[in-house]
Amino acid sequence: MSRTRDRTRTRIMDAAYVLFRERGYTRVNVDEISVAAGITKRTLYSHFVSKDALLEAVLEAQHALAFASFQTFGRKLSGDPSDIVRSFFRELRKWSSKPRFAGSGFTRLAMELADLPGHPARRIASAHKKLLEGHLVKVLEEAGLPEPEKHGRQIWILAEGVMALALIHGDKSYSAEAEHAAMKLIGYS
């Protein structure tokens, strides 16, 4: 691929990401993506055979960025299991307190496409969430927490609940309550 073609592809993906993030997948059409990217619809289709293929490429790129960010965040999670849980939910609280907090884009897209179980976005969202949960389990295991898979999954469920409810209600206190519940789960009250 030429540099110009690569730049155009990146511009399309960046424009699509912003629109999908702001308005959701189904409420954005390829005409709007083309305009936002400053290209013709024909050019868009020369890079992506369909809107679904574009979404798949956008999510694959975002998955790589989000996982890298989570790994960096994961390196900050240290100490005993209680320190890890406190840090985890403190960061979640910071993120959910941002003025334009929109929750997890992967979760939102999976929900939006819930009636399409074979959709590539659902597959990517599932793989993304499994990878993040697995990383949390690894950190908890390295800290010596008994049954890290079980506890990691429970903590992940609480975190997903925080993201959803903080978005729905605009209330960051869900993170503190989830942290309290997670501490009880791992035996620290």
User: Mean per-residue pLDDT for 5-14?
Assistant: 94
- Please report, for residues 6, 141, 174, 178, the alpha-carbon distance to residue 160 in angstroms, rounded to integers and kept in the order given: 35, 20, 11, 10
Please state the CATH superfamily assignment of the domain spanning residues 1-48 in this structure: Homeodomain-like (1.10.10.60)
pLDDT of residue 162: 94
Domain span(s) for CATH 1.10.10.60 in the chain: 1-48
Residue 186 has pLDDT above 90, yes or no: yes
pLDDT classification of 95: cutoffs 50, 70, 90: confident
- Find out whether 26 and 112 touch, Cβ atoms under 8 Å: yes
pLDDT of residue 1: 60
Fold of 55-185: Tetracycline Repressor; domain 2 (1.10.357)
Residue that is written with structure tokens 């965040």 in the block: 73
Residue-wise pLDDT tens digits, 30-80: 999 999 999 999 999 999 999 999 999 999 888 888 777 766 766 778 899
pLDDT of residue 11: 96
pTM of the model: 0.82
pLDDT of residue 153: 97
Distance, in Å, from the CA atom of 75 to the CA atom of 55, rounded to the nearest integer, reads 30
Residue-wise pLDDT tens digits, 98-154: 888 888 888 888 888 889 888 888 888 898 899 889 999 999 999 999 999 999 999
User: Mean per-residue pLDDT for 148-162?
Assistant: 97
Domain span(s) for CATH 1.10.357.10 in the chain: 55-185
- Please report, for residues 13, 57, 141, the alpha-carbon distance to residue 5 in angstroms, rounded to integers and kept in the order given: 12, 15, 44
pLDDT of residue 74: 66
Per-residue buried b or exposed e for 118-146, using 16+ beta carbons within 10 Å of the residue's own CB: ebbbbebbeebbeebbebbbebbbebebe
pLDDT classification of 28: cutoffs 50, 70, 90: very high
More confident residue, 2 or 116: 116
